[in-house]
Each structure stands twice: as C-alpha cells, then as structure tokens.
Homo-oligomer: A and B are copies of this chain.
Amino acid sequence: MSERAFIETFLRANSDYVTQKYQEKQNVTVTSKDSPVNLLTEVDLTIQKRFIDATAEAWPHDLVVGEESGHDRYPADPNGRIWVIDPIDGTYNFVRGLNPSFAISIAFMQDGLVQAAGVSMPLAGYYFFAEAGGGSFCNGRRLSVSRVQHLESACVEVDFSSVKNRRTILRRGAKIIREAAQLRSHGSAVAAICQIATGDADAYVHPGLHPWDYAAAQLIAEEAGALATRLDGQPLRVFDKKKGVLVTNGALHEQLLASLTR
C-alpha cells in the first residue's frame, strides 16, 4: 500500500468515530494542557494512538510525530521516514463550537519534504488528499486557489492564536487586519489552510504554528497553486521552529509579506 493510500484508509476508517464523539460530546472527557484554553480530549488521544498502532504495524521503522502525549518532539533526523499527525486540529472548536471547524491531519515526509498528505473534516464530510507533484483534491475534485489580486478585495483568515501570541499577530498583521475586505477566524489552522486550497479564502496568517498544524495542509494548498512561507518570507519547512506561517493564493503573497511589520 502506498503512503497516500495508507493515509486515506486511516482517515476514512476513523472520521465517523470523531463525528459520533462530537455528537455526544457532553460525555467526552476534556482536560486542559499548558493553559485553560489548550484543550485535550479522549478523542485526540484515541485517534493518535490508533494512528501510531497502524503505522507500527505497516511501517515499523518509521517515526511518528504527533501533537499529543509525548510525541510532540522534533526528529533527530528530519530526512528519515516521518509521519506527522494532528489527531484533532481545532480541539477547542470540537469542545465548544456551533458548526465548528476541526480536522484530522496526516502528512508523510521523506528526505525532509512532505510527500503525501491527507485531511478529513468529519462534520462537513470533506476528505482532502495531495501528493507532491500530483495535485490536490477534495472529495475527488481537483483544487485550485483563487485569483484575487489585492488585499482590499481579499478574504483573509487571521489566526489570533492564544493571548501569548496575540500581540505578535495584532502588530505584525495590523495592515492586513485593517484593510482586508473580509476577515475570518475559525480557529483551525488545518481547515483554514485547506480553505486557501479550495479558493474559499485568499490568504491565511498565523504568528507561530506547530509542525502538525500545517504539515499536511501546506502540501494540499501548494498543490492547488498556493504559496506558503514563514512570516520572514523564507521557505516554510515542517520543522521550522514556529516562525509564523503565511499561506496565500500566490497572487497576494508579495503584497502581504511586504505588509507585515517586524
């Protein structure tokens, strides 16, 4: 089985479980991690555990990097075979949210680059897949970014992140926040970046994401024509250390990069 097929099989086998848990979420165990709004549920843990078990069986020598329970470490050798999973991106939305955005995100890396990626948004019934050089797809439809050319006609998703990082985004993104035609903030990086891939938004900015927040969605967006860089304009790598993320439809990239203050 190819890595792409492995990701798809896993996502299709596990998305219904997430939807079911969401629908009975008053019974889901929720704890908080480093801050009261950084939430963890049994669903995050279960999905990650199932993925680790599945990879251990199919690819016993591969490394798994994941958001939860001790797997959130950077690999010693970033060029090896590495799987990067966010079992639920948007856990806060899962716990609190009306028609919320959350997603399961899985990337497969080799030679330091993401080779295959899959994202499931269980409530919406969306499955996104991409392979390096092979385009990206949502429910079988080939994706392509928007053609919006100017900030003043753009829909931009800004992630205001935690209060700790809020100051950074309010300062550096001030012009974007003031001038974008439409501003959205859904609270899931994975869903937000996939939204650039589908052309439903034109740009996304976040002051400092973890690898599992964008590893898969970045490939999905890039294969749809998006540009993704750090906020300093350097190429965005999965194991960058939280240098910020700007994903655009390409046409807007230079303008938005230039608008970011230091």
Q: Which A residues fall within an 8 A CB radius of B? A: 36-37, 92, 96-101, 121, 123-124, 126, 152-153, 155, 160, 162-163, 166-167, 170, 177-187, 191, 194-195, 198-201
Contacts and interface: CB of A to CB of B under 8 A. Distances in A.
A178 B185 contact: no
Nearest to A179: B163
Oligomer: number of copies: 2
Contact of A181 (B163, B195, B199): B163
B178 A166 contact: yes
Nearest to A156: B160
B153 A126 contact: no
A98 B195 contact: yes
A177 B187 contact: no
A8 to B, nearest CB: 19
A160 B183 contact: yes
A185 B187 CA distance: 9
A23 to B, nearest CB: 11
Contacts of A186: 184, 186
Given A152-B163, A162-B181, 17 more contacts: A96-B155, A96-B199, A98-B121, A98-B124, A98-B191, A98-B195, A98-B200, A98-B201, A99-B99, A99-B126, A160-B182, A160-B183, A166-B178, A166-B183, A170-B177, A170-B178, A184-B187
Contacts of A37: 153, 155, 181-182
B97 A200 contact: yes
Given A37-B181, A170-B177, A186-B184, A124 B99 contact: yes
B98 A198 contact: yes
A88 to B, nearest CB: 15
Nearest to A157: B185
Nearest to A192: B98
A124 B22 CA distance: 13
B200 A96 contact: yes
Contacts of A177: 160, 166, 170
15 contacts: A37-B153, A98-B126, A98-B191, A99-B99, A99-B121, A99-B124, A99-B191, A162-B181, A163-B178, A163-B179, A163-B181, A166-B178, A166-B183, A170-B177, A182-B187
